[in-house]
């Protein structure tokens, strides 16, 4: 199952990529929604090989997931692999500079079921794909607006 969305961001691609690499922002957002997030690597700088374990409730059942950065090409691509019992997938962020100060970000999730229970989960998600896609687009848009605000503040603070 694939879901994706595009957003234009009023910031240069390099700045957008750097903000995407502020992983504590994503960790806090997940924890605010009830998930527990634990970083499991010891890399000093963002890059390929960073890993996390997370636990959350989905469809009324506790779930566990491991995430790892498998693609890191500044300032163009950031790719995470997802591994969960019976489920694999990827989360991708692709950045295209439209102008020196505007970036188009394509954010996508691709999930693949490996077991029958995971197939049932993915099938239930597919049945609600329109609603799920709308929520995904809304969350990405909210995150983008926050990125634009942080970028604008960094310019105002640096002036």
Domains and CATH numbers, the chain: 2-154 (3.30.530.20)
Pick from 8, 10, 11: nearest CA to 105: 8
pTM: 0.89
Task: Name residue, tokens 């049932």.
Answer: 120
Q: What's the pLDDT tens digit per position in 62-76?
A: 999 999 999 999 999
Residue 125 has pLDDT above 70, yes or no: yes
Q: What is the mean pLDDT of the chain?
A: 93
Residue 158: pLDDT band (50, 70, 90) is: low
């Amino acid at each position: 199952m694939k879901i994706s969305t595009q957003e234009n961001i009023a910031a240069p691609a390099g700045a957008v990529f750097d903000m995407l690499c502020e992983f504590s922002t994503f960790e806090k957002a997940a924890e605010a929604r009830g998930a527990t997030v634990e970083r499991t690597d010891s890399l000093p700088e963002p890059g390929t090989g960073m890993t996390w374990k997370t636990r959350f409730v989905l469809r009324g059942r506790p779930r566990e997931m491991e995430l790892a950065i498998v693609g890191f090409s500044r300032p163009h691509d950031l790719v995470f692999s997802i591994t969960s019992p019976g489920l694999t997938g990827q989360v991708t962020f692709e950045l295209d500079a439209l102008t020196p100060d505007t970036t188009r970000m394509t954010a996508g999730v691709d999930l693949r079921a490996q077991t029958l229970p995971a197939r049932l989960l993915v099938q239930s998600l597919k049945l609600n794909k329109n609603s799920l896609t709308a929520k995904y687009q809304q969350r990405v848009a909210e995150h983008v607006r926050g990125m634009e605000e942080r970028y604008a503040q960094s310019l105002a603070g640096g002036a």
